[in-house]
Amino acid sequence: MNQGSSIFAQLMTHASRDALDRCIRRYRGNYRVRSFTCRDQFLVMAFAQLTYRESLRDIEACLGAIPLRLYHMGIRGTVTRSTLADANERRDWRIYADYAQVLMAEARRLYSEEPLALDLDQTVYCLDSSTIDLCLSLFPWAAYQKDAAGVKLHTLLDLRGYIPAYACITRGNFSDNRILDELTPEPGAIYVVDRGYLDFPRLRRLDEARATFVTRAKSNLKARRLYSHPVDRETGLVCDQTIRLVVPASLAKYPNKLRRVKFRDPETGRPYIFLTNNFDLPALTIANLYKARWRIEIFFKWIKQHLRIKAFYGRSPNAVRTQIWIALSTYVLVAIVRKRLGTRLDLYTLLQILSVSLFEKTPLEQALGSADYTTDDPPFPNQLQLFDF
């Protein structure tokens, strides 16, 4: 039976407090902090994400209207916009980056048995980046062109459950293929990337780690065909070839053989040429793997639409990074709750329900509409039936 905890407090019980405390101690986040701790900051910023608050003044007004409930929400410090602005400005953003990685690992463990759209046993990752645009006059430190400012969010998305396995925030002019240097290749895993990651020394590193990569070939790729393999042209496949690079500089960077698969979209007639180091999977599976890469595009579009990462509460690099990392943590936390409760509702619906019910004292399972929810509490003996069926 719910003992009076708000939905927000119940939701936050699924976020490991010990893990957050370890991240805070790692960067001495509460050093010389008297009242508004890093945990308070995380809770307030998560509340802002879940309720779509527009500004610091908006956050202060909403939480200031319910001062007696803040303690039961887990917020111990007084919430004012100046205090929250100082916290976003000064508290190390790496606290929340590390904590987001902890939540991602937990979510991936929960979703590890989710079915994959493709009939594969391997783990399939999609790697891509998306630019979060910023106003040049308000964020001059984020300029990457003469008339543009922004930061890049690099994400490695696990296609089982569509949970980020890795994320990183860089400047807007950071080259995409350089993020491959930050990854630790997982043997046996499949990495699907677009042409922006076609860098042969970095792809060779994946190959040496016994990982599979699937990418698109550039139009100026120079290669020599060694073997051709039969394909079923009715499926849209044009050819399946074993090739080797011929340009001496490229050959020195990637001396191994490559597989080239050409596919023509039956609907649009547009041809696609894929490169991979995997010679065992069917050619059509290679084409379908690259098609699945669009899931990460949908992921970026979704978080930009439903999380507060396009308008920011602070203007400093630390404040921007802090807000993005807490937004990702909130997304992953809702995904964790969805899996633990076994609800069939999608994340968008869950966020909409949470946005209007955080202060309600309803069991979380009931509030989120789990189809399997049943109450074990007996009815009150003096409670009469409204309708007699």
Per-residue model confidence (pLDDT) at position 374: 45
CATH number of 194-288: 3.30.1370
Residue 222, φ and ψ in degrees, nearest 5: -105, 120
Q: Which residues pair with 131 in a beta bridge?
A: 152
Domain spans, the chain: 7-93+315-367, 194-288
pTM: 0.90
Both structure tokens of 203: 């792809």
pLDDT string in tens for the chain (389-residue length): 455 789 999 999 999 999 999 999 999 999 999 889 999 999 999 999 999 999 999 999 999 988 888 888 889 988 999 999 999 999 999 999 999 999 999 999 999 988 887 888 899 999 999 999 999 999 999 999 999 999 999 999 999 989 999 999 999 999 999 999 999 999 999 999 999 999 999 999 999 999 999 999 998 999 999 999 999 999 999 999 999 999 999 999 999 999 999 999 988 899 999 999 999 999 999 999 999 999 999 999 999 999 999 899 999 999 999 999 999 999 999 999 999 999 989 999 999 999 999 999 899 999 987 544 444 444 444 444 433 43
Both structure tokens of 106: 């937990």
Counts of helices then strands in the chain (DSSP H, E): 14, 10
Q: Which residues pair with 271 in a beta bridge?
A: 264
Per-residue model confidence (pLDDT) at position 368: 87
Q: Assess contact for 320 and 134: CB atoms under 8 A.
A: yes
Per-residue model confidence (pLDDT) at position 3: 58
Q: Three-class SS string for 252-289?
A: HHCCCCEEEEEEECCCCCCEEEEEECCCCCCHHHHHHH
- Rounded Cα distance between 340 and 370, Å, is 11
- Rounded Cα distance between 150 and 133, Å, is 4
- Annotate 186-209 with DSSP letters as a single string: -TT-EEE--GGG--HHHHHHHHHT
Amino acid at 282: P
